[in-house]
Amino acid sequence: MKVLFASSEAYPFAMSGGLADVSGALPKALRKRLVGCRVVMPLYGCVSEEMRSKMNFLCSITVPVSWRRQYCGIFEAHVDGVIYYLLDNQYYFKRDGLYGHYDDAERFAFFSRAVLEIIPHIDFKPDVIHCNDWQTALVPVYLNAFYRWDETFKKIKTVFTIHNIQYQGKYGHELTGDVLGLPPECESLLDYDGCINFMKGAIQCADKVTTVSPTYAREILDPYYSHGLDGILREFTFKLTGIVNGIDYDVYNPEKDGLIYRSYNADDMVGKAFNKQSLQSELGLPQKPGVPVIGIVSRLVKHKGFDLVKCVFEELLRADLQFAILGSGEWEFETFFHRMAERYPDKVGLNLGFNPQLAHRIYAGADMFLMPSQSEPCGLAQMVALRYGTVPIVRETGGLNDTISDSGDGQGNGFTFQSYNAHDMENAVWRALAGYSDANGWNTLKKRGMECDNSWSRSANAYIKLYKEIVNG
């Protein structure tokens, strides 16, 4: 079986979030299971010279964008056993940042059409095109509108994965003629709630629609979570399934991680204590081995639950604990945590921004990891925390609910709360602190978390089963 994985970003070429991690790790996991999987993505200006040195130019073609044709250079690169196709058009992609430009609709309409146009020019005819988020949502639409008559494309199936339903590719109808170029009989595929909606078109046209956790697949049928798409999703529920993401165990491995202070494993956690002491030192916190450290690595935005944290933060600081915080985001929360770090320098270690090395060190050095998200389609940080023996405290939503279970029954791997309520979150933290005071029980909980299997193995097998179902069905 052959799968072409279409994504607007992929590690290690260009990334802005979790989609790049998935696009880098899932194809690699599929390849290990003898599924031919290749990745196609834009060639952005931010791709490093080191990565460009791995690329070979294959050929150039022109791609229809409504009534005109645009240049597209096809480059190929081999990384970790996976072949990547990077599509070049400097007008569309040689810019600062991956997204947020005035013509994003046109940029990714071009990319979606190019994903299909390159197929006759590469030595790879996919059985399945796996599309991801709104930036590739037009691939199934264009495939059905323009290519089904062609023998090369007749049997190709499509899977569309929703990584975050908040971002749908919503635009005005003025794009219909000059940008999208769909025939009149197909224009209704994108029409939804008074505007053009790229994601709606993919939900309607793809053979299967997946999202990144079973709980999130249920949640997005509810208007509270769906950002307006619950109606079309309920109509096509028969297509919808949830598959939890994994994490790359080569990247996140406390036994081999060169970014942390000292390696360790589930059977020998002496190194974790050293990581905690070193983290406290780096963040300017008192080096007290018996004081629990709560880690936070996140975008500091309301959507991630930081209004809850802000509400009870000073109450929590009355306890003998420390916070290790890394992130950036909304001014309100950056300002709040900066003020807390100034007021409580012995209890709050703060680094505003994104620092991959420090992120790994917080995962390794903290005792607990707080994720009180309002919604979380999947979440990777809680799984990384488990991998490093750092006990998650999470709200029961999306992928957090599917990967973390409360240890109150003696079997779980973390501490959870259900309602989006600051005092419910606070209570979960108090329960975690009580658990920490029992050294033997806490060591058992850490070891249990480290032994959880959140690798891509299980997720890759679920995707293979899905691919086979639509190809053989």
Under the banding of pLDDT at 50, 70 and 90, the label for residue 206 is: very high
pLDDT of residue 357: 96
* pTM for this predicted structure: 0.92
pLDDT of residue 229: 97
Task: Compute the average pLDDT of residues 268-297.
Answer: 97
Helix (H) or strand (E) holding 58: strand 55-65
Number of other CB atoms surrounding residue 410 within 10 Å:
9
pLDDT of residue 408: 86
Q: Is 209 exposed, middle or buried (0-12, 13-18, 19+ CB in 10 A)?
A: buried
pLDDT of residue 16: 86
Q: Which residues contact 126 (CB under 8 A, 6 or more apart)?
A: 2, 3, 4, 38, 119, 156
The answer to whether residue 410 scores a pLDDT higher than 90 is no
Share of the chain above pLDDT 70, in %: 100
Distance (Å) of CA 132 to CA 296, 328, 362, 456: 27, 25, 30, 17
Could you tell me the strand order of the sheet in which 368-371 lies?
348-352, 322-329, 293-300, 368-371, 391-395, 415-417
Under the banding of pLDDT at 50, 70 and 90, the label for residue 380 is: very high
Task: Compute the average pLDDT of residues 199-210.
Answer: 98
CA distance 82 to 37: 7
The answer to whether residue 473 scores a pLDDT higher than 80 is no
Contact of 26 with 60, CB cutoff 8 Å: no
**Helices and strands: H and E segment counts in the chain:** 19, 18
The answer to whether residue 388 scores a pLDDT higher than 90 is yes
pLDDT of residue 177: 87
Q: How much is the mean pLDDT over the chain?
A: 96
pLDDT of residue 375: 93
φ and ψ at residue 18, rounded to 5 degrees = -65, -25
Contact of 376 with 438, CB cutoff 8 Å: no
Comparing 92-96, 184-188, 273-277, 427-431, which segment has the lowest mean pLDDT? 184-188
Under the banding of pLDDT at 50, 70 and 90, the label for residue 331 is: very high
The answer to whether residue 392 scores a pLDDT higher than 90 is yes
Under the banding of pLDDT at 50, 70 and 90, the label for residue 409 is: confident
Taking Cα atoms as reference points, which of 52, 69, 51 lies closest to residue 60?
69
Number of other CB atoms surrounding residue 151 within 10 Å:
6
pLDDT of residue 31: 94
Task: Compute the average pLDDT of residues 273-282.
Answer: 98
Give per-residue pLDDT as tens, 47-103: 999 999 999 999 999 999 999 999 999 999 999 999 999 999 999 999 989 999 999
Q: Is the peptide bond before 392 cis (omega within 30 degrees of 0)?
A: no
φ and ψ at residue 294, rounded to 5 degrees = -100, 120
Under the banding of pLDDT at 50, 70 and 90, the label for residue 362 is: very high
Share of the chain above pLDDT 90, in %: 94
Task: Compute the average pLDDT of residues 262-274.
Answer: 96
Distance (Å) of CA 405 to CA 121, 211, 337, 449: 48, 20, 29, 10
| DSSP letters for 258-318 | TTSSS--BTTB-HHHHHHHHHHHHHTT----TTS-EEEEEEEESGGGTHHHHHHHHHHHTT
pLDDT of residue 354: 85
The answer to whether residue 279 scores a pLDDT higher than 90 is yes
Q: What is the maximum alpha-carbon separation in the chain?
A: 69
Task: Compute the average pLDDT of residues 203-219.
Answer: 97
337, amino acid identity: F
